Amino acid sequence: MILIAAAWIGLLLFGGGFALDRVLTNAVTDNFDAQMQNVIRSLLVSAEIGPEGEVILSRDATGDPLFLEPNSGLYWQISAPGRPVTEAFPSRSLWDRRLDFGDRHNDRNIHFYDSDQFPDERLRIAERDAQIPGSKIHWRFQVAQTRRDLDAQITILRRTLIRSFALLGLGLVVLVWLQTFYGLWPLRRVRDEIARMRAGQSNRITVPMPDEVAPMVEELNALIEHNERQAEEARRHAGNLAHALKTPLTVIMNAATAQADDLADTVIREARTMRRQVDHHLARARAVGRRGSAHSRAEVWPSLESVERAVARLYRHIRIDVTGPRDLQVHVERQDLDEMLGNLIENAAKYGGGSVFVTVGADAGFVELLIEDDGLGIPEEDRVRIFDRGVRLDTGKPGTGLGLAIVRDVAEIYGGTVSLEESEDLGGLLVRLRLPAAN
């Protein structure tokens, strides 16, 4: 930031200094030229033609003693075209030197230019062609002055400009440095607070921060809290899995130690139990891992059609009807949506009487899916307990007892809910699944 600001300040000051130098240099030069222009006008007013065709001045036109001092640096000369320069009428200050005639001008304006015709000094020359009364030719009036004083003034001016702009640029860069240093000071405080958290001295940034930094600190604290919840969830998840596997492993170890006759059956039974637990925790872990994607979304209708085809192949005697808008989307990964709908629709087909009705709708930022069947339903006192892992009310049909538990866990991970009610139309169970809408 400081380097970019310094480069920009330097560029602006250079451009501004260059423009100001041009303006001031032109102003000094114009003032210098104006003095010579006045001399030319005086010469034009007082010039006359003498009896022998020479140019004479009716009065002292210049009034400056430097025109009388040889090689003084201030000169005038009146010359005619077609005549040798040696026949020109010069000021005494020119002594034995003469000004070059140059090109003839077609206008009557005064022209200014620089000349190096004198090897020991650079000249600034003003000249104008004019016709003297009583003469038929145009005469060249020239006033020349050394540039020594003019160049000295310009040099002093430029030196002052460079020093002033350099000091101004340095002051601006120092100001930018101070502004950047103190402006970013709160970020150093944030860094120190993060170092304290890493050292275990605190778990949040509680130091008051300026308004510009406070939103970032709030988001950082929210991120830390989110990570703590995830870490706690992971610890609880690992603990639950360890606890779920501990009992089957203990049964297998006891049976193996006692060399029981039904050891093989015990291993198979307990292995199935462990497999159910592992499947459940893996499904939950996958959902937790995919939850972090803010862009996760899935179309509801294609997922319903896919699940309907799969369940219809397993339960050919079941009729599944689906109704509702076809363009709804949810903030859920497609794989997790398929798993939830698959568990719910398969349960309705397995435990229902032959009809399954699925209704899709939108409600206050959520997509609501109602899965109804015409079975016996679930008593109200068991509708909460049925979501526990391994709980099955009908043990006469194959299953793991983890379907509704997986649906509840995955739905809650994505910010949704699942509840059990009684179907008014079919008389069986109604499962109400609410998921965040992505439309």
Per-residue pLDDT of 125-151, as tens digits, reads 999 988 888 787 888 899 999 999 999
Q: How large is the average pLDDT for residues 296-300?
A: 87
Is the full-model pTM beyond 0.95?
Answer: no
Query: Tell me, what's the pLDDT at 400?
Result: 38
Given a cut of 50, whether residue 392 has pLDDT beyond it is no
CA gyration radius, the chain: 51
Helix (H, G, I), strand (E, B) or coil at 348: helix
For the stretch 339-343, contacts whose Cβ atoms lie closer than 8 Å and that sit 24 or more positions apart, written own/partner, are: 339/283, 339/406, 339/407, 339/410, 340/406, 340/407, 340/410, 340/411, 340/418, 340/433, 341/303, 341/304, 341/307, 341/369, 341/433, 342/307, 342/310, 342/311, 343/403, 343/404, 343/406, 343/407
In the Cβ-directed half-sphere of 132, how many Cα atoms lie within 13 Å? Answer: 22
pLDDT-derived band at 167, boundaries 50, 70, 90? very high
Q: Which residues is 357 bridged to in the sheet?
A: 321, 372
Tokens read off for 268 = 């198979």
pLDDT digits (tens, 9 = 90+) for 47-67: 888 877 778 887 766 778 888
Given a cut of 80, whether residue 284 has pLDDT beyond it is no
Given a cut of 90, whether residue 33 has pLDDT beyond it is yes
The fraction of the chain above a pLDDT of 70, given in percent, is: 89
Residue 370 phi, psi (nearest 5): -110, 120
pLDDT digits (tens, 9 = 90+) for 178-212: 988 888 888 888 888 888 888 888 888 888 888 88
Superfamily (CATH H level) for 298-436: Histidine kinase-like ATPase, C-terminal domain (3.30.565.10)
- Give me the residue spans of the domains in the chain: 2-153, 214-291, 298-436
Q: Which residues is 47 bridged to in the sheet?
A: 57
* Domain covering 2-153 assigned CATH 3.40.50 in the classification: no
